[in-house]
Amino acid sequence: FTYEVAPVFTLMEKYVVNKMLGLAGLSSGDGIFCPGGSISNMYGLNLARCKRFPEFKMDGMTSLPPLRILASEQAHFSIKKGAAFLGFGTKSVVPVKCDVRGRMLTSELEKNIQMIKSKGEEPVCVVATSGTTVLGAFDPLCEIADICDEHKLWMHVDSAWGGAVLLSKKHRELMSGIERADSLTWNPHKMMGALNQCSVFLTRHKDMLTKSHSTGAEYLFQPDKCYDVTFDTGDKSVQCGRKVDVLKLWVMWKSKGDKQLEKAVDNALDCAKYLANRMADTEGFRLLLQPEFTNICFWYIPPSMRNEKEDEGWKTRLSKTNRLKEKRV
């Protein structure tokens, strides 16, 4: 198994990773399948730290100034969880204000970076989001990349949810600028429809996974094996032993092809637009904003509340209607 089957799965992984790197506009780079988007985001944070402070791997956090991670206030909770797990601490995550559609305000990002530096702290990474959990918002990647370039910060994009738009010629502009990211998370078990779990971490830096994680254990990763030792991905991963998550995606992608997956993404966004339009025209439903993605945010206003003054008390009562279990005729 070790010498014959394992390299075949690794070859599949290399093929799919390179395919996804190409879709993201990253002509070269590296990647690895991870047990979920939260772990993939943790990879991004760790590589950002190791890139900025390579001595961390040997010396630990005590050798570093206070590090800060900037992420929008709509970012996934895994950023704080990852900060805690990796030793940054949850307080190291600095929330950046968003506009009414849930997109990071780059003016606020710049202000926060200046504030961090003025306190003698070190900004090390900006986490942008492509497809936020609640509103389905896409942060302005080009503008964020400009700021990251100016301040020499690692740019990680959490596109666990929204990464599938890269399959669509019609909608990939939602992630315009992704080719400038240092790393990204993409979960095919979401909109692509792969079986859970199936998450990929991608980075433009071909050697950073190895530099950040390798310990060179010669009793496992001998350089004189009878096959190409680049198939030994265990040393560049956090885990070593991993499930063959690539197999389910490789088989699905082979069976459906690029065009079918593109049609599925386009159809999902078309259905979201249709539903939003129906809600806007249906009594009792109030669309809160036109969807940017497939997330539909709305209120259902029961007949007894439709002609009342919409003050804070009204909103409090309305927020409880979805939790009520009552018989409706």
Positions of E strands within the chain = 30-34, 67-72, 93-96, 122-129, 154-158, 183-186, 199-203, 285-287, 298-300
CA gap 130, 139 in Å, rounded: 6
Q: Which residues are CB-neighbours of 33 under 8 A, at least 6 positions away?
A: 13, 17, 198, 199, 200, 201, 242, 245, 246
Q: Give per-residue pLDDT as tens, 185-202.
A: 999 999 999 999 999 999
What per-residue confidence (pLDDT) applies to 324?
66
> In the 8-state DSSP scheme, what is residue 3?
T
Q: Give per-residue pLDDT as tens, 116-147.
A: 999 999 999 999 999 999 999 999 999 999 99
- Find out whether 43 and 5 touch, Cβ atoms under 8 Å: no
Domain spanning 5-255, CATH class: alpha beta
Angle CA 108–113–115, to nearest 5:
90
CA gap 221, 311 in Å, rounded: 65
Angle CA 115–143–295, to nearest 5:
100
Task: Record the pTM.
Answer: 0.92
Q: Give per-residue pLDDT as tens, 173-188.
A: 999 999 999 999 999 9
Indicate the domain borders of the chain.
Answer: 5-255, 257-323
Closest CA to 96 of 133, 123, 122, 64: 123
What per-residue confidence (pLDDT) applies to 329?
37
CA gap 75, 86 in Å, rounded: 18
**Bond before 74 cis per omega within 30 degrees:** no
Q: Which residues are CB-neighbours of 22 under 8 A, at least 6 positions away?
A: none
Could you tell me which residues are beta bridge partners of residue 70?
94, 126
Q: How far is CA 327 from CA 123, 324, in A?
A: 53, 10
pLDDT mean across residues, the chain? 91
Closest CA to 198 of 8, 30, 10, 37: 37
Closest CA to 299 of 291, 289, 307: 289
